[in-house]
């Protein structure tokens, strides 16, 4: 939850960097939406943030969550996948099979 909050906070900061402000330092709105400068760059920055690798340690604090993910992937996923989806599912299965607690 802390990492999710950090990502959300960083997304807000990125958005603030690209909002157009008037001479009174107030955000400019157009048709009810904030006016954005260089939206392509803004989206690239957000995409980079979202694609960062976040490691979840396999410790006692994450035990319940990780075991729940393992169970969901291995025992409650749709029965069939095709093509790239099948390859991705196999990769995810290999990862969650490594989750072990004594």
CA distance 40 to 34: 15
Question: 42 and 6 share a domain?
Answer: yes
Is residue 3 scored above 90 in pLDDT?
Answer: no
On whether residue 102 sits in a domain, the answer given is no
Q: Residue 4: pLDDT above 80?
A: no
Asked if residue 20 is part of any domain, the answer here is yes
- 8-22 burial, b for 16+ CB within 10 Å, e for fewer? eeeeeebeeebeeee
> In terms of domains, do 34 and 67 share one?
no
Rounded to an integer, what distance in angstroms lies between the CA atom of residue 37 and that of residue 93? 42
Q: How many domains does the chain have?
A: 2
| Residue 82 clears pLDDT 90, i.e. is over it | no
Which tens digit of pLDDT belongs to each residue from 24-71? Answer: 999 999 999 999 999 999 999 999 998 888 788 889 999 999 999 999
23 found inside a domain: yes
Judge if 32 and 69 occupy the same domain.
no
Question: Do residues 39 and 66 share a domain?
Answer: no
Q: Which domain holds residue 6?
A: 2-50
Q: Are residues 67 and 44 in the same domain?
A: no
Question: pTM of the prediction?
Answer: 0.54
* pLDDT at position 22: 95
In the prediction, which pLDDT does 47 show? 93
Domain co-membership, 39 together with 64: no
Statement to judge: residues 11 and 32 lie in one domain: yes
Strand residues in 28-84 grouped as ranges (E): 29-30, 33-34
Residue 31 resides in a domain:
yes
């Amino acid at each position: 939850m802390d990492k999710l909050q950090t990502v959300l906070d960083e997304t807000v900061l990125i958005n603030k960097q690209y909002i157009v402000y008037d001479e009174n330092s107030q955000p400019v709105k157009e048709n009810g939406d904030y006016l954005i400068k260089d939206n392509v760059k803004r989206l690239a920055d957000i995409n980079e943030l979202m694609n960062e690798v976040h490691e979840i340690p396999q410790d006692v604090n994450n035990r319940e969550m990780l075991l729940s993910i393992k169970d969901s992937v291995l025992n409650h996923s749709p029965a069939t996948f095709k093509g790239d989806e099948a390859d991705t599912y196999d990769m995810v299965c290999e990862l969650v099979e490594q989750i072990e607690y004594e």
